[in-house]
C-alpha cells in the first residue's frame, strides 16, 4: 500500500512511518522542512499551495493527515489562531489537491483529539458523544480541523480522535516523567480528572487496523480501553521511576507553573474518560491495555 503522511516529520509521524515502512509499505512524508526524514520518502510542500510535485503522490494512495503545531503553549488568542491555522490550512490544501484527482483517494485517516469533548468530567465518552462547545484551544481547534478535513474527497474516511500518545522523547511523556524525577510527581489539581492515554505501539497498530479494515469509518477513538485518573497516572509513574516522594500540584500551583513553562494549565487540569468502543467492537486487540505495564515497557525502551 502507498501511504502519504502529511506532517509526518514529527515524532508521531515518524513512528508511524517507521512501522509502515517496516511492513513493506511505500510511505511518502509531506514536510515543510528541507531536512530529510529518516523514515519514508521525503517530499517537500509548503502546506498551503497545491503543486504538482507533492499533489501527484496522492493518486491511489491512502492519506494520513497529521498536520499541526504542538499544543504545549499558552491559550492566548494568537496561539489558538496558530494551532487552528496550522491544521486547517494544510488540510484544505490536501482537499484541493484531492479534488483534482481522477478518483477519490481510497481512504483518509484524519487525526483529531479527544480534547474535542472539552473538560468532560465523569462522562464516559464513546464515538457517539457530541463535541463540546469549548474551550477554544481544545474543542474549538479540533472541530475546525475536522470540518476542514470533511472537504477532502475520499472513498472511505476515518477520523481518529486520540488520547495522549505516550512515547519517550515526546513532549507529553518527557514532561510527565520530568515532573516525577524533579519530585513533583504528585496529583495535579484535584487528581480526579480522567486521563485517556495510549501506548505508541498501539497507536501504530490502530493506524494499520484502520487502513486495512474496510468496515471502519467515521469517528474512531484511538485510546486505551482503560483510562485512569490523574492521581493514578502520577502514582504509576512514581513507582515505575522508583520515586517515593511526589509533591502534589494544587490548581493554583499549576496555573503559576504554567506561566513559567509557557503552557496551558487546562492541559493538566481538564480530563476526558474516553473509550475505544468501535475498535473493540471491530475486534482490535490492544498490546498495552493497562497503564503500569505500558509505562514499564516505554521506560525500558
Q: Answer yes or no: is 213 within a domain.
A: yes
**Whole-number CA gyration radius for the chain:** 19
Q: Report residue 153 as a C-alpha cell.
A: 474527497
Q: Report residue 81 as a C-alpha cell.
A: 489562531
Neighbouring C-beta atoms of residue 1, cutoff 10 Å: 16
SS3 153: coil
Q: Answer yes or no: is 124 within a domain.
A: yes
* pLDDT digit string, tens, across residues 32-55: 999 999 999 999 999 999 999 999
Q: Answer yes or no: is 232 within a domain.
A: no
Q: Which residues contact 69 (CB under 8 A, 6 or more apart)?
A: 82, 83, 86, 87
pTM of the model: 0.97
Question: Quick one: pLDDT at residue 268?
Answer: 96
Q: Answer yes or no: is 52 within a domain.
A: yes
Which candidate, 267, 76, 52, 103, places its Cα nearest to that of 175?
Answer: 267
Q: Answer yes or no: is 121 within a domain.
A: yes
Which residue segment(s) compose the domain that 210 sits in? 2-167+198-225+274-289
Q: Which residues contact 188 (CB under 8 A, 6 or more apart)?
A: 230, 234, 248, 249, 254, 268, 269
Distances (CA, A) of 278 to 221, 247, 281: 7, 38, 5
Q: For residues 22 and 126, give the distance between their C-alpha atoms in angstroms, rounded to a whole number.
A: 32
Grid cell 480530563 in the structure block, residue: 271
**In degrees rounded to 5, what are phi and psi of residue 216?**
-90, 130
The segments of the chain whose pLDDT lies below 70 read none
Q: Answer yes or no: is 19 within a domain.
A: yes
* pLDDT digit string, tens, across residues 192-237: 999 999 999 999 999 999 999 999 999 999 999 999 999 999 999 9
Distances (CA, A) of 164 to 39, 112, 114, 222, 239: 23, 11, 9, 9, 20
The CATH number given to whatever domain includes residue 163 is 3.40.50.720
Q: Answer yes or no: is 120 within a domain.
A: yes
Q: How many domains does the chain have?
A: 1
Q: Answer yes or no: is 23 within a domain.
A: yes
Question: Quick one: pLDDT at residue 301?
Answer: 84
Amino acid at each position: 500500500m502507498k501511504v502519504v503522511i502529511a506532517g509526518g516529520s514529527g515524532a508521531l509521524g515518524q513512528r508511524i512511518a517507521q512501522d509502515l515502512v517496516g511492513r513493506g509499505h511505500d510511505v511518502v512524508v509531506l514536510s515543510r522542512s528541507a531536512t530529510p526524514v529518516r523514515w519514508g520518502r521525503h517530499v517537500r510542500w509548503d502546506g498551503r499551495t497545491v503543486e504538482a510535485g507533492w499533489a501527484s503522490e496522492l493518486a491511489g494512495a491512502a492519506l494520513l493527515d497529521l498536520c499541526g503545531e504542538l499544543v504545549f503553549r499558552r491559550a492566548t488568542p494568537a496561539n489558538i489562531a496558530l494551532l487552528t491555522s496550522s491544521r486547517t490550512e494544510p488540510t484544505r490544501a490536501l482537499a484541493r489537491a484531492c479534488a483534482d484527482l481522477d478518483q477519490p483517494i481510497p481512504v483518509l485517516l484524519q487525526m483529531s483529539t479527544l480534547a474535542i469533548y472539552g473538560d468532560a468530567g465523569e462522562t464516559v465518552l464513546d464515538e457517539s458523544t457530541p463535541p463540546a462547545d469549548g474551550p477554544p484551544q481544545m474543542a474549538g481547534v479540533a472541530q475546525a480541523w475536522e470540518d476542514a478535513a470533511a472537504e477532502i474527497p475520499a472513498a472511505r474516511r476515518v477520523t481518529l480522535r486520540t488520547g495522549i500518545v505516550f512515547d519517550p522523547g515526546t513532549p507529553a511523556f518527557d514532561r510527565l516523567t520530568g515532573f516525577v524525577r524533579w519530585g513533583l510527581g504528585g496529583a495535579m489539581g484535584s487528581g480526579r480528572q480522567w486521563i485517556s492515554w495510549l501506548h505508541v505501539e498501539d497507536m501504530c497498530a490502530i493506524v494499520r487496523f484502520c487502513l486495512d479494515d474496510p468496515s471502519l469509518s467515521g469517528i474512531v477513538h484511538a485510546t486505551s480501553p482503560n483510562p485512569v485518573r490523574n492521581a493514578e497516572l502520577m502514582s504509576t509513574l512514581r513507582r515505575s521511576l522508583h520515586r517515593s516522594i511526589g509533591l502534589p500540584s494544587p490548581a493554583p500551583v499549576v496555573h503559576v507553573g504554567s506561566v513559567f513553562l509557557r503552557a496551558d494549565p487546562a492541559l493538566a487540569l481538564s480530563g476526558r474518560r474516553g473509550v475505544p468502543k468501535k475498535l473493540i467492537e471491530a475486534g482490535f486487540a490492544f498490546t498495552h491495555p493497562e497503564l503500569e505495564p505500558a509505562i514499564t515497557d516505554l521506560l525500558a525502551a
